[in-house]
Every structure is written in C-alpha cells, then in structure tokens.
Homo-oligomer: A and B are copies of this chain.
Amino acid sequence: MNKYMMKAMKVAEENLKTNHGGPFGACIIKDGEVVATSSNHVLKNNDPTAHAEIETIREACKKLNTYDLSGCELYTTCYPCPMCLSAILWANIKKVYYGNTKDDAASIGFRDDFIYNYIQKSQDSSILELIALDREQTIKTFQSFSEKQDKTIY
C-alpha cells in the first residue's frame, strides 16, 4: 500500500473510535515530504466544512505560510466531494490520489453523490433555492475592486 495513503487511512480509522467526524482522512505532500495529515472533523468542530481534504489544505497552508499549494499532491481515502474538489482547485493542487469512490461514500450514508448531482445536473430548487437580489448595488464593490491598484487575485 502507498505510504501516504496509509497515513491518510490511519487518521480515517482513528475517527471510528474518536467520532470526530466521518471515516475520511487526507494527506498532503510536497517533494516527497508529508506537509499535513488530517481526518474529517465535522462533528468535533461543529463545522460542516471540516472535511478531511479541507482540514488538510488549511493545515498545509498554515505550515507553508501561503494560500497557494502549487507543487503539492493530495492523498485522500475517498474521492473528494464537490466542496473539497473545488478547494483543491482553489489551492492549485494538480494531482489527487483517492481510495474509495463516490458510490462507496453513498453506500455508507454520505451525500457526496447527491451534492454532485445537484451541482452537475439538477440544480433542483426544492433542494436549494438561489435568488438574484440587489445586483445594481453589489456590483459597485466589484467596480471599485477592478479600479483598485494594490489588488491580489488568488
């Protein structure tokens, strides 16, 4: 078994005892060195965004003192949900190794596949309603930003 995936799996297994969150773990490496490893902490932290991949990205960014993880690779015990997959793209990670599949996650009761379906296909308003409001006001902040000299795009 790959040694980085083994680290990710070890923290996922700890969650079976600690109940810190779902049975998921992740590990980020750079140049063959482990930068960060974390399990899912949704239950412990009362944070629905504290998936293993997100927690590991946050920890790696803290260690490397950057919001840009270019050159890093991520190992995760399960195919990333759309939230984590997007976080991986925002972080500029370009290679992800995953163990279990979306179907495996669905079969133990998690909504990864349901959320993929909403985003990729249905956008069913009975699940989530998205309502346009006050753009004529909010667009002013974007206009000010585009005229700003000292801006950083991430």
Interface residues in chain A, defined as those with a beta carbon under 8 Å from any beta carbon in chain B: 1-2, 5-6, 9, 12-13, 16, 19, 21-23, 42-43, 45-49, 54, 57-58, 61-62, 65-69, 75, 77-79, 81-83, 85-91, 93-101, 104-105, 107-111, 115, 118-120, 127-135, 137-139, 141-142, 144-146, 148, 150-154
> For residue A85, which residue of chain B has the nearest CB?
B119
Tell me, rounded to whole Å, the shortest Cβ–Cβ distance linking A5 to chain B. 5
Contact of A19 among B95, B110, B150 (CB under 8 A): B150
> For residue A97, which residue of chain B has the nearest CB?
B133
Q: How far is the CA of A65 from the CA of B142 in the complex (A)?
A: 34
A85 proximity list for chain B (CB < 8 A)? 82, 119, 128
Most B CB contacts (10 A, CB to CB) among A12, A43, A48, A107 go to A48
When all copies of this chain in the complex are counted, the total is 2
The answer to whether B95 touches A128 (Cβ under 8 A) is yes
A111 proximity list for chain B (CB < 8 A)? 89-90
A87 proximity list for chain B (CB < 8 A)? 48-49, 83
Q: How far is the CA of A151 from the CA of B20 in the complex (A)?
A: 11
A97 proximity list for chain B (CB < 8 A)? 131-133
The answer to whether B141 touches A9 (Cβ under 8 A) is yes
> For residue A110, which residue of chain B has the nearest CB?
B153
Most B CB contacts (10 A, CB to CB) among A68, A93, A105, A131 go to A131
